[in-house]
Structures are given as structure tokens and as C-alpha cells.
Structure 1
Amino acid sequence: MARFPLRPPVAVAAPQPAAPPPIEEYFDIPDEEPISSGYTIRSLFWKATIGLLVALGIQALASLSPSLVELVYSQTIYFHISRLLTYVNRYFSISLGEIFFGMVIIWFFLWTLWYLRRAFRGETRVFDVIKILFLHLTWTFSTLFVLFLLLWGLNFQRMPISDSMGLIRRPARSDELQAIGARIYSGINKNYDDAAAGQGWSGTSRLPMPMAKLNEILEASFQNTPMLGAARQGGLGVPKPLYSSRVAGVFGAEGFFIPYSGEPLYNEAVPNCDLPFVIARQKAHQRGFAREDEANLVAYIICTNASDPYVRYSGFLHGIKVLEEIEKSGVGQYRDKVGRGPSTDLDARIDYWFKTKSDYPDTLLQRLTGLYLRINRVRRGYENFDEDIPLIIGYYLKSPTFQPRESSPASVPPATTAPQTTAPPLTPRPVGDGGGGGGGGTGTGTPLAPRPVGDGGGGGGGGTGTGAPLAPRPVGGGGGAAAKAPVG
């Protein structure tokens, strides 16, 4: 039986006698196992390709029946997979997924460097090095993609969250948009004031609790949110800080979700005002909400309904992007209504990403995250991060406590049109091109339009996630989801 080639054939020159010409023998594997022959290399390549095509076929079939995926995979099979992975990784304080992907990257880098060096010295052929490297990459990608689909990736094909939660998807009226805008900016200001009481903040806000307490608050909020269905249940692993948080910051990533280990990872260097939302988004990926817009919506619901005012403040602060879209519709102006304290946090967020993020790595991660999302049949790719805006509006329209006409004139700008008119439909804002954007450090954008990267993964974390990635932003989640890219 032929063995899988781990290295290219090596040319060894025999000692040169005086008379006969030098004799060169190529050997690495015995003659009876001609693994280095073109036919065997081609057969191994096609086996990996066929496995990848089968996985893509399963993904395509799953996309034809989202309700079946929701019932059989997302709410049943994945429920047990996530608990099994938690049982394995809960004994480690560091991320197993981060270590695994770090080892894979180091392996390919050193392998390529070593054998290219030998090729330049005439000990093997450059063509053989490239051929074996391409074979290794094909098998690695094919194997990881199959595992990604089985362990988490089929969640991309589940029912849209707008259907499973029964969100309102009609265009909002102008008075409704006014009330939503007032709800968001008043939520930002009030919860900031409540959280700041007795803290003595001079400048930017600081997380007023240890990370273990923050995770408890988020878990309690998840489990007290009936609209999440089976995903509200606990028993999952705790979020872990990225060991490579500084590197993630250079790429503009807030977090990832690693599907292969079931670990939500977060960049611990991001501004404190963003940490609760970033972690909640990766935990949403962990619960099977793979799409970045859906993970953002879940994180928004969880944070804004949490028991702690600082966690609620972090959630409402994500709603700044919704305020920007409402302003674009011509309904009212809300930026000036955000208080001085939250405005200081927004400025600190912009300053952090301006100093940390590098344009080329950030652009590379955006493109890889967009490719990762499109492979998983998310049509708009990286722009999916901003498609949570209509979902958040639909969530408020569905809310039984949402009563736009009860908003006081002092807190809500007067309507510019008749109360029953329909405002222009809100569409996700185009993705920026890097360079000190809003939250999450991706894209140019204005201070009103934070855009997280998140989540993979492993699945590439997504999530990295969460980031999302993605998810990532995932990275993660992914796989790491990617978090935005498994990114998160």
C-alpha cells in the first residue's frame, strides 16, 4: 500500500570516482511503492478533491431544507456536539484551537522553508517541493472543511433568525424609527450613567467586574431569553482570551469562534466598552448562530436585556450603527443626543483601532472573511456584518413593549412626515476600505458605524469569532468561526 508523501524525493550524489561520471540516485520511498510518481500524486489529489466536492454537495442539499437543518442538526445534533467539545476543553485555561492552528501554520511555514532551501542547494527539485506542498494543502483544507461542516458549519444553513424569532420585516414608519432611535440613545445614556455611579471614571469607562462575573451575567441573560429556543440552554464552555490578542488587533479582529474545539475567543485588548458585546457575539456563535448578522442580533438582545447596566450599555453602544441608518433616512438627528461619557468611549474606540490596526493585514482579513462567508453560502460576504441593522429594527417592531406613540416630544425629534408614512427601507451600509474605522476596527466608516470583525474559527471561530469573527471579526468563528473567521 502506497504511503502518503511527507516530503519531496531527495537527490543524493554518490561519491565520484575518477573515471566514471557521477551517478545520481533519487530515493525517498522504496521502488515497490512509487508514491512520488505522477500517477500516485494525482490520485491522492483527486481523492482530496472528491472529498471536498462531496462536502460541498452536502452543504448545498442542506441549504434546500433550512427547517430540517434547524430541527435535526442545529437543535439536536449540534446541541450534543457543543456539550461534548465543552467537556474536552473546559480543563484547559488556554485555547486548544488557537494552539492547533498556530502549530499548523508553523508546520507549513517551516516545511516550505526547509525544502525550498534544499531545492536551491540542488538536493531536490523545486517542482517536487511545490507539488507535495500543494497536495498537503489540498488534503488539509479538505479534511478541515469536512470536520467544519460536521462540527458546526451546517448551522449556516439553518432557518433564518427572522423566521425562527418571528421578526417584523416590513419597512418601518417614520414614527417607529423615531421611537427606535430614542430607545437606543436613551439606553446608551441611561445605562452609562447607572454603570458610572460610584466608579469615578475620568475619561473612558472601565469594565466594573471580573471576567468570570461578566460571563455569569451573560449566561444568565442567555438562559432568560425564551425567544432563543433551545439555544438559551447553558452547559457550554467559558470564553477565553486570545493569547495572540496583539496580533489579532493588527488584523482588526475582535474575536473568533473555533468550531473544532467549541471555544469562543475574544481579543482582551479591545476597549472595555466593547468587551461584553464581543464576548456575547462569540457565545452566540457557540450556540449555533453562524451568520454574522444573526450573531450580532443575538448579542444585542442578550446585552441590552442583561441584569448589569454596563453590559446593557455595551449592547446599546452597538446600536450606534442603527442610529446612523435612521439618520440617513431623514427621520431625525441623534448623534448629538449621545452623552459626553459614551462619546468619549466612542472616540477611544476609534483611537484604539487607529493605533493598533494595520491596513494591509486588516484588508487581507476582510477579504478572507468575505470568502469564508461566501463559501458558506452567505451571499453578501463581508457585508453580512452590517445586515443586523434591519434585524435589530425588526426586533424592536416585534417587541410587545414597543409603543412609538408614547415617546415624549422632549426625547424624540418631531416627525418630518405624517405619522403613517413609510420611511425609506434601510439597507446595510457598504463596507469601508480600512483605516481606522468604527468599532471592531474594520473599514473606514464614521464613529456612528462600528463594524466588528469577528468571529470563525476555527471553522475556520467564528467566531471570530466572532468573530465575527467573522467570525470572524471569525474571524469569530471560526471555523475559528471566523471570529470573524474561524474565523468568529
Structure 2
Amino acid sequence: MKWNRRRKILVVFLVIVVAVQGIGGLGDYYAQAVYPCVATVLTFLSGYVPFAIGDLFIALSIIGIVAFPFYAVRRKNKTVGYAIAGVGEYLLWVYVWFYLAWGLNYAQSDFYHRSHTPRYEANNDQLRYFAWRYADSLNANYSKTAIYDTLRVPSLVVAGYKRLAQQNMGVHAPFHVHTQAKTMLFTPLSSKVGVTGSMGPFFCEFTLNGDLRAHEYPSTFAHEYAHLLGITNEGEANFYAYQVCTSSADRTMRFCGYYAIFFHVLRSVDAVLGDEAAEDFLQYVRPEIRQMASADRNYWRSKYSTWLGNLQNAVYEFYLRTNRVDGGRKSYSQVVALILSWEQRQGQMQRR
């Protein structure tokens, strides 16, 4: 293929990406009609590889981007301009691949529009009622003798997402019956920046941090699985993970689902109802669960690097803002508002 022809194809792809992002309705068409086909193929192919191809691809790309200019100029006697142009074109191909393979899901409508759920603004009393009712469920599903069997998690999560799809909750049904979560190739680095899971968009695979504790595994798996199904907003991924886990017949799955949003609920109570209410809420939760939460924080803090974490947070915040994710990294905590809106809608439907 000639150089000019390759560039023309690249321009066409770039126009498609920009058009889908900018023209209303095209994002939803991509998410509903195109992405399931792309994901089905890529997930099927990447599933045969036991390690995270995306992690390796990103690492090799970084090495190549750094090394290519030196190779082109010193070994091939090319100009600096040629080297820069080569790196620039490669980055544009990566950009196109990212968006066509998964990233254009950012252009789809949000949960409220996809599921036809009115956005619900709870008052103080309603938030208090939800928080204490949530704490009752969290306490009731805790067990000192619980065994967290991670081998059962994939099938339970797949079954859970099938249920959500049947309820028209704005998420696809699973593309494959058997879905594999791969371990991050660079787990120690991921722990240093506070990343417990990630979606690999280039090959439609998702990875989990190898340092995850057993009781964190189910909700993290379900969260990243939501991304695999085309959900880009972090709060929505938390919401779907919560719904999948807490509706499971398996008690340990239910507890993991409730526990996963514990800090989000606590922050919401503190922000809206004040410090005293937050302390009352905290004391209402079983002491064993509070000890678990404290141990988890200490566990991850022992692995965390402040300067690397701050750098990663800044980069990820820029990435989310660039892709028009409302609230940036704060979107994780939108899960409480999503749960309240969905429950309000369900209550209205039952009263009809």
C-alpha cells in the first residue's frame, strides 16, 4: 500500500470518528448497532490469548514512539521531520483504532436517556432513608465465615447482565457466555497509581489488578464488565456492578455489591447531611465491616505512590474531560444518584 493511499484511509477514519462524536444520534447508532459486532469479534479473538494484549501493546507503543526517532535519524539517515511525521501518523492510527474499537461509546446517550429513567433529585430525608436502608442490607449480607470464590464470579456476572438487559436498563446483554478477565501485566505499577481494573479498548478485553482482595473481586469484575459492554461513564459502571451483584442469589456476591459503594454512600451522607449524620451512619454499620473498610484502605495505601498517583489522576481527569464525561473522576460517585433515580422509577411503575 502506497504512503499517500494509507494517509487517505487514515483521513477517512478520522472524519468518521469526528462525525460520530459531533453529530447527534450517531453515537447511539454506533453503541447499539456497530459496537456489539466489533466487540464480539475482538473479544472472541483476544480471548484465545491468556495475557493482556492491550497492556503489552501500550507498553511496546511507548517504547516504539521513544525509540523510532533515534532509529530513523541515526540508523536510517532520515530527517528529524520524517521521524516526527512517522510518530504522528502512528499516534493518529492508534487514536482511530481506540475510538472505532470502543471509544465512540463515549458519544452515546447517558443512562437516563438509554433506560428512559427520569433524573431524580432526592431531598435530605430521602437520602437519609436510602442510606440507612442500604446499611441494613450491607449488614444483613455480611458473614464472618463467608468464602469468596472468585472462580464462580464470571458466570454469576454474565447471568446478572443478562437479567439487566431483559429489564431494559440501558446496557447490552453479554456478547459471549464465557468471558475472561485478565490480570494486569503491570500490577505493581497499577497498585502504585490506585488502579484496580481497566478496560482494554484496542482488543475489547478487560483486566483486573492482581493485588485485588477476594471480597473486592466480584464488584470490580462486574464494573469492568460493564465497560466491556460499552458503558463508559464510571458512575454508570458502578451502578451496573451494584445491580448485578446485589440482585444475585449468592450472598457473598450481594455483600460485595453493597460493600463496593460503601465509601460513595458515606461521602454522599457527609456532603448532604453533614458530619454528625455521617458519623451516625458509620456507627450504624457493623464494626466488622468498618474494620474491613479500614483494612482495605491501609492495604491500598501501603502500595500507593503519591506522586505517581497524582500524575495518573491528572492524566485520567484530562482523558475523561476530553471525552465529555460529566464530572471527570468525580463521576464514580454518581452511583448513588443513579440508584436513587432507578429505584424511584421502579416505585412509580409499581404504583401504576
Q: Structure 1 unaligned segments of length 5 or more: list them.
A: 5-43, 200-206, 404-488
CA distance in 2, matches of 1:357, 1:372: 21
The 3 A distance-change label for structure 1 pair 176 and 2 is closer
Q: Following TM superposition, by how much is the alpha carbon of 1:215 offset from its aligned partner in structure 2, in angstroms? A: 0.8
- Partners of 2:207 and 2:170 lie apart in 1 by 24
Question: Secondary structure of 1:171's match?
Answer: coil
Aligned partners of 1:52 and 1:142 also within 8 Å: no
Contact kept? 2:54, 2:203, Cα under 8 Å = yes
1:173 is aligned to: 123
Contact (CA 8 Å) 2:21, 2:104: kept in 1 or not?
no
Give the one of 140, 152, 156 matched to 2:90.
140
* Whole-angstrom distance in 2 between the partners of 1:80 and 1:2: 29
Partner of 2:159: 220
Q: Which residue of 380, 385, 392 corresponds with 2:339?
A: 392
Taking the TM superposition and a 5 Å limit, the aligned residue runs for 1:232-271 are 232-235=173-176, 237-271=179-213
Q: 1:73 Cα deviation (Å)?
A: 2.1
Q: Equivalent of 1:348, from 278, 295, 306?
A: 295
Shift of 1:316: 1.0
Q: Is 1:323 paired with 2:266?
A: yes
Q: Work out the CA distance in 2 between the residues paired with 1:384 and 1:145.
A: 24
- What's the CA shift for 1:276? 1.3
C-alpha distance 134-146 of structure 1, shift in aligned 2 (>3 A): same
- CA-to-aligned-CA distance 1:171-208 (integer Å, 9 cap, x gap): 21333222211222122211112xx33x5xxxxxxx62
Whether the 8 Å contact between 2:14 and 2:96 is mirrored in structure 1 is no
SS at match of 2:273: coil
User: In the alignment, which residue of structure 2 is the partner of 1:460?
Assistant: none
**Shift of the alpha carbon at 1:254?**
1.0
Distance between the aligned counterparts of 1:340 and 1:402, measured in 2? 37
Distance 1:185 1:133, change over 3 A: farther
Q: C-alpha offsets along residues 123-180 of structure 1, whole Å, 9 cap, x if unaligned?
A: 979xx44x44432332122112212222212211112101222334232133322221
The whole-number CA distance in structure 1 between the counterparts of 2:171 and 2:336 is: 24
CA contact (8 A) 2:199 2:228 kept: yes
Distance 1:235 1:378, change over 3 A: same
Letter of the structure 1 residue corresponding to residue 224 of structure 2: Q
CA distance in 2, matches of 1:141, 1:305: 42
Q: Which of 216, 222, 226 in structure 2 is aligned with 1:280?
A: 222
Deviation digits for residues 35-81 of structure 1 (CA, Å, limit 9, x no counterpart): xxxxxxxxx9x97996686355314334x22xx533x3222221111
Q: Which amino acid is 1:318 matched to?
A: A
Deviation at 1:400, TM superposition (A): 3.3
Alignment of 1:15-414 (within 5 A): 54-55=15-16, 57-62=18-23, 64-65=24-25, 69-70=27-28, 72-111=29-68, 128-129=79-80, 131-193=81-143, 196-197=144-145, 199=146, 208-209=148-149, 211-225=150-164, 226-228=167-169, 231-235=172-176, 237-320=179-262, 321-330=264-273, 332=277, 333-400=280-347
Alignment deviations for residues 224-262 of structure 1 (CA, whole Å, 9 cap, x no partner)? 222335612441632111122111111211111112111
1:382-424 CA-to-partner distances (Å, cap 9, x unmatched) read 3323333321221232333999xxxxxxxxxxxxxxxxxxxxx
Q: Which residue of 2 aligns with 1:481?
A: none
Which SS does the other structure have where 1:264 is aligned?
Answer: strand
Please tell me whether the aligned partners of residues 69 and 84 of structure 2 are also in contact (alpha carbons under 8 angstroms).
no
- Tell me how far apart the structure 2 counterparts of residues 352 and 133 of structure 1 sit (CA, whole Å): 45
In structure 2, what residue type is equivalent to 1:252? G
What SS class does the counterpart of residue 232 from structure 2 fall into?
coil
Residue identity (%): 22
What secondary structure sits across from 1:307 in the alignment? coil
Larger C-alpha radius of gyration, 1 or 2? 1
The structural deviation recorded for 1:379 is 4.4
Q: 1:323-370: CA deviations, max 9, x gaps?
A: 321233227431111112211221122112211111122112112212
Measured after TM superposition, the shift of residue 381 of structure 1 is 2.6
What is the identity, as a one-letter code, of the residue corresponding to 2:39?
S
Alpha-carbon distance, 1:285 to partner: 0.5
Q: Distance in 2 between matches of 1:142 and 1:318?
A: 37
Higher helix fraction: Structure 1 or Structure 2?
2
Equivalent residue letter for 2:169: L
Taking only aligned residues, the RMSD between alpha carbons, in angstroms, comes to 3.1
For 2:175 and 2:162, locate their aligned partners in 1 and report how far apart those are by CA, in whole Å.
7
- When normalised by structure 2's length, the TM-score is 0.85
CA change 1:357–1:48 in 2 (3 A) is farther
Q: TM-score, normalised by structure 1?
A: 0.63
Query: Would you say the 8 A contact 1:271–1:352 is kept in 2?
Result: no
Contact persistence 1:255–1:266 (CA under 8 A)? yes
Output the CA distance in 2 between the equivalents of 1:399 and 1:2: 58
Distance 2:61 2:283 in 1: 49
Shift of 1:114: 6.0
Q: 1:152 to 1:179 in 2, by over 3 A?
A: same
Instruction: Report deviation, 1:222.
Output: 1.1
CA contact (8 A) 1:69 1:157 kept: yes
Q: Deviations over 1:286-325 (max 9, x none)?
A: 0011122211211111121122222222221232212321
